[in-house]
Amino acid sequence: MLHMLQKSFMWLLCATLLVSQATWAQESPQDNIAISAEQARSLGIKTVALASVTQGVGAGFPARAVIPNNQLRVIGAPLEGIVEAVLAAAGQPVEKGQTLAELKSPALVDEQRQLLSALSAAQVARSALNRDDELLKEGIIAKSRYQATRSAATQAEADLEEARQTLALFGMQPEEIRALENSQKITNTIRIVSPLDGFVLEQMAIAGQRVAAADPLYKVGFLTPMWVEIQLPAAQAARVKLGDLVSIQNSGAGGRVISIGKSLDAANQTIMVRGEITQNADTLHPGQLVVAAIEVAGSGAKQWQLPPAAVARQDGKPYVFVKTPDGFRAQQVTVENEGAAATTISGPLQDNDLIAIDGVLAVKGKWQGLGGGE
């Protein structure tokens, strides 16, 4: 009786295994796909050799190069007038203090006249103070008169300094103000100068143009370092930390993450991550659209980038097709990042493995048994 029970159990076990194997064969295609070289050519199958990329959040993220705020200046007309000469153009390198344009203004003449008047009044007040100081020491005048003279001299000096500051606000340089005080010669021309070393980014001034006070004339900036503003999906942005390495594809430019946005862009559901580019920043141009990669500190697994079409899906799982002597092998992988230009993967692969990138649907069809006898 025991022997019969054991025999029945063995038959049941074998039947169960056979059914399971048949079910698996129906639901899951074999990993090895036989495709000859001639079939691969006729199906338009092309491969690419894997080359590992910098491990991190991934590459292929859209970004835009911008000038850091503290490196950008907009130069406006200090007062109303006419642009007499334009001496710099967009794209031109400039030095601090270099003349960009010349502006003629009647208002400048009035302010210079007020300066000379204040200078004369201050000189008279100083002379009166020196005289009353001697008279006070000799006991000829009362102390109250000396105090009144000293107060008048202080006020005259304050008026003179105010006139100097007004001309400085109008764009006159300190050496030009000193020259005016020494020569007493009034001019109606003011120089518009660059406040920093850098480049002219935009020229708004035109010779002969009449401008009002504060009208923009030039935009200048220096371009090292540069910022890149990277748009990251929220899931990837959560993995980024300050100080993570940033690299720009096809430029050699690189730097580090300096800020991570807190708000989500409602239009594209991304978060802005800002990188400061200090290496080869001169290869970038303000407003340039670039592709950026971020390397997360402490990561170790190898990653590879492929065209998005190279990754096939089966039962919701990502696969790539690895070239073998007999055809291809379906290999399940992990998708680290998906972008419009590239998909970053990791998994049991090696550098120089040949991966199908064109004709992937044909390989998948053969894998699923849809290729007939081709």
Q: Give the integer Cα–Cα distance in Å for 93 and 82.
A: 25
Tell me: the pLDDT tens digits for 310-360? 999 999 999 999 999 999 999 999 987 776 778 888 899 999 999 999 999
Q: Where are the alpha helices (DSSP H) in 208-292?
A: 234-237
Tell me: the pLDDT tens digits for 29-43? 458 999 999 999 999
> Which pair of tokens denotes residue 171?
């764009």
Same domain, 309 and 249: no
Domain membership flag for residue 290: yes
**Residue span of the structural domain in which 79 resides:** 72-105+191-220
Q: Please give the span between the terminal C-alpha atoms of the chain, in angstroms, as a whole number.
A: 55
For 12, list phi and psi in degrees, rounded to 5. -65, -40
Indicate the residue among 295, 325, 342 that finishes a domain.
Answer: 295
Is the Cα dihedral 161, 164, 170, 172 positive or negative? negative
Residue 3 scores a pLDDT above 70? no
Q: What is the pLDDT of residue 348?
A: 92
Which of these, 132, 127, 134, 124, lies nearest to 148 by C-alpha position? 132
Domain membership flag for residue 4: no
Give mean pLDDT, residues 131-136. Answer: 92
What CATH code is carried by the domain that includes residue 85? 2.40.50.100
> Which pair of tokens denotes residue 200?
């002219």
Q: Give the integer Cα–Cα distance in Å for 45 and 38.
A: 10
Domain membership flag for residue 51: yes
Q: What is the pLDDT of residue 337?
A: 74
Q: Which residue has the higher pLDDT, 235 or 9?
A: 235
Domain membership flag for residue 92: yes
Q: 3-state class of 132 per DSSP?
A: helix
Local confidence band at 374 (pLDDT 50, 70, 90 cut-offs)? very low
What CATH code is carried by the domain that includes residue 256? 2.40.30.170
The answer to whether the beta carbons of residues 67 and 260 sit under 8 Å apart is no
Residue 14 scores a pLDDT above 80? no
Give mean pLDDT, residues 240-247. Answer: 92
Per the structure, the count of domains in the chain is 4
Q: Give the integer Cα–Cα distance in Å for 172 and 166.
A: 9
Same domain, 111 and 99: no
The amino acid occupying position 259 is S
CA distances for 224 relative to 90, 275, 276, angstroms: 18, 13, 10
Q: What is the pLDDT of residue 58?
A: 57
> Which pair of tokens denotes residue 301?
């697994």
What CATH code is carried by the domain that includes residue 355? 2.40.420.20
